[in-house]
Each structure stands twice: as C-alpha cells, then as structure tokens.
C-alpha cells in the first residue's frame, strides 16, 4: 500500500494535469500463487481453497498498462512478498486483528 500511495504522490508531482495514469508494479502472478502466499501468511491450510466454475464473461487475466507511469520514472520500491504481507497485516488490524 505504501508503494501505491507513493505512486499517487509521484504522479501528483511529476504527471501531467488531467492525464490518467495506471498504478501497478508489474508484478503479475497466478491467482493460486497469491492465494497460497496469503494462506501461508495466515498459517492456514490449502484445504480452504474451493474451486468454482468460471462465470460467463469471466476475465482470464487482469493487467494494467503502466507505460505512462514508467515513462515518468516511477518504479515500485517494495518487493511483492513484502507488500502482500504488509497489506495482510493492515487488513488484520483494521478488521479487529482476528483470523477468520
């Protein structure tokens, strides 16, 4: 989350007023890789994963074009695993700290 906020500040300072910028760190991952990492962080079993049928119109991939942001010189400062752990900790704190 700190990288996202840093990118917003960076764009506010260096971007062109009225221009739109996608913010992403170019850290594409498979859904299952992210789920596995979250389960590890929560010390939970992989048995919690439930696979479901794809819905009509299901997106196969989510990706943002960060060309304009990169052209300004912004790069992510936080490695993916660290950022995910920080995000999880933030959500745990704001949801009362319990594991659900």
DSSP the chain: -HHHHHHHHHHHHHSPTT-------S----HHHHHHHHHHHTT--GGG----PPPTT--S------HHHHHHT----S-HHHHHHHHHHHHHHHTTS---
41-84 per-position pLDDT tens digit:
999 999 999 998 888 888 777 889 999 999 999 999 999 999 99
Supply the pTM of this predicted model. Answer: 0.73
What is the structure's pLDDT at 100? 47
């Amino acid at each position: 989350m700190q990288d996202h906020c840093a990118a917003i500040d960076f764009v506010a300072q260096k971007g062109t007023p009225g221009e739109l910028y996608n913010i992403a760190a170019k850290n594409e991952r498979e859904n299952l890789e992210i789920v596995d990492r979250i389960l590890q962080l929560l010390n939970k079993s992989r048995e919690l994963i439930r696979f479901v049928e794809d819905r009509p119109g299901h997106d196969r991939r989510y990706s943002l074009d960060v060309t304009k942001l990169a052209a300004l010189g912004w790069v992510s400062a936080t490695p993916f695993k660290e950022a995910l752990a920080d995000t999880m900790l933030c959500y745990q704190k704001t949801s009362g700290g319990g594991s659900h």
